[in-house]
Amino acid sequence: MRPPIKRLGDLKPASAAADTYARPTPKMARRKTAKVLTDEERAAFLASRPDLTPKR
């Protein structure tokens, strides 16, 4: 007979707060958010890069 399936909640102690996270490491803190291009900026960028044209 197999042992009963354990739930994920059963593996951790109940006293641990679920909404707390560790402080970011220096590598993660250096990451920058991505810039979102407007339609005009995207068109200008794609016009300057002919190698990025859609394949036909």
pLDDT at 39: 92
Give CA–CA dist 9/16, Å, rounded: 11
Q: At residue 56, does pLDDT exceed 80? A: no
pLDDT on residue 28: 67
Instruction: Please give the model's pTM, rounded to 2 decimal places.
Output: 0.36
Scan for tokens 């109940």, then name that residue. 14
Residue 47 has pLDDT above 80, yes or no: yes
Where do runs of H (alpha helix) occur along 12-48?
26-29, 39-48
Q: With 60 as the cut, is the pLDDT of residue 10 above it?
A: yes
Report the mean per-residue pLDDT for the chain. 75
Predicted local distance difference test score (pLDDT) of residue 34: 77
